[in-house]
Amino acid sequence: MSAPLVDIRNVSHRFGQHPVLKNVSLAIEPGSYTILLGPSGSGKTTLLSILGGFVTPSEGKVFIRGQDCTSVPPAKRPTTTVFQDYALFPHMSVGGNVGFGLRMQGVDGATRAAKAREALSLVGLAAAFDKKPHQLSGGQRQRVALARALVIEPAVLLLDEPLGALDLKLRRQMQDELKAIQKRVGTAFVHVTHDQEEAMALADHCVVMSDGRIEDEGPPERVYARPATRFSATFMGESTILAGKVDESRDGRMTIVTGIGPISLPGASPKGASVALGIRPEHLVLGDAKADVTLGTARVGDVVFQGSFKRVLAASTQDPELQFIVKAPASATVQAGDSIAISCKAADIILLAE
């Protein structure tokens, strides 16, 4: 198996006495679109800054293309960064902005202009070469920043919440464009966001971070469908979480005692072990059409119409601490105050690490 394009080994970092990264290891493959996903303070931006050379880690190593780049400054490593505020020079034309990195490398004017036009064409802004940044929309300025980063042909393109300043409609449009551009150029992208929908729309490699550690990583489909930890299940989408204890394990199955009764699942854990069970909203069934695991009844507290579905919040009548989050069909006749049966399939219950 070939070596990864980026190999982050046992990286830790502290600001003063405050640890922000704790023994993080991560491999990034050539041509991949990696999303670093997590809440504020999870360490994702610090990890990106270490990858870009803006921060030297307190411990650990960063290898790019097999070379130790841990202490190499940003301008000397095969990465480039697109920042959230785009950092375009207002006095320069769009073409001048895009060619700036090549100018710093000593590339002649004619070659710079040709490469800048090519990069602008790649992001759909061929006609903007002579304009100034203030003449462009937010989405267009974002694409100029992307062209400026791509024109120097980095091995890895780093994006620090690049869509954060855009409105919802434009953000979704830019997600589609970013993914299409990444596929065309084949450069590895590493993109920081706290937006779960953005992560699922863009990533082929999703890295969920919390408290300076990697909680979960893999294809977004797997991270969503079978999250590894309780945090991953509640941050990468929503989940109903049931706390329980293992009562017995026998013949490849275990019985877990929960506040709404015993649940039997495949697997084995020691008797008395505390476990958490996760169920995604779309896997909960309301009403009499019961699936094979009955979860009791619940009183509906809120129903929010969201176009293609209704988001239903309902409190268990057996366990007042348990709140069900249900994605019901848009046509479902459910309203606040209803008392309703809830069930799911055993195969859709996820056993989570704490």
Exposure b/e, 65-97, CB count within 10 A at least 16 = b: eeeebbebeeeebbbbbbebebebeeeebbbbb
Are 225 and 290 part of one and the same domain? no
| pLDDT tens across the length of the chain (354 residues) | 578 999 999 999 999 889 999 999 999 999 999 999 999 999 999 999 999 999 999 999 999 999 999 999 998 999 998 887 777 888 999 999 999 888 888 888 888 999 999 989 888 888 999 999 999 988 888 889 889 988 888 999 999 988 877 777 888 888 888 888 898 888 999 999 998 989 999 999 999 999 999 999 999 999 999 999 999 999 998 999 999 898 888 888 888 999 898 988 888 788 888 889 999 999 999 987 667 889 999 999 999 999 999 999 999 999 888 999 999 999 989 999 999 999 999 899 998 876
Same-domain pairing of 85 and 145: yes
Residue 175 and residue 199: Cα distance in Å, rounded?
10
Single residue among 181, 208, 233 that ends a domain in this structure = 233
41 shares its domain with 178 = yes
Is the residue at 26 inside a domain? yes
CATH code, domain with 304: 2.40.50.140
In sequence order, what are the beta bridge partners of 242?
277
Give the count of domains, the chain.
2
Mark which of 199, 233, 267 sits at the end of a domain.
Answer: 233
Strand order in the sheet with 261-266: 261-266, 253-258, 240-250, 274-279, 350-352
Same domain flag for 42 and 119 = yes
Quote the pTM value: 0.88
Residue 253 lies in a domain: no
Domain that holds residue 299: 240-245+276-352
Domain end (from 233, 268, 297): 233
| CATH number, domain with residue 154 | 3.40.50.300
267 lies in some domain: no
Residue 187 lies in a domain: yes
Q: Are 218 and 72 within one domain? A: yes
Inside any domain, residue 270: no
Residue 2, classified by CB atoms within 10 Å of its CB into exposed (0-12), middle (13-18) or buried (19+), is exposed
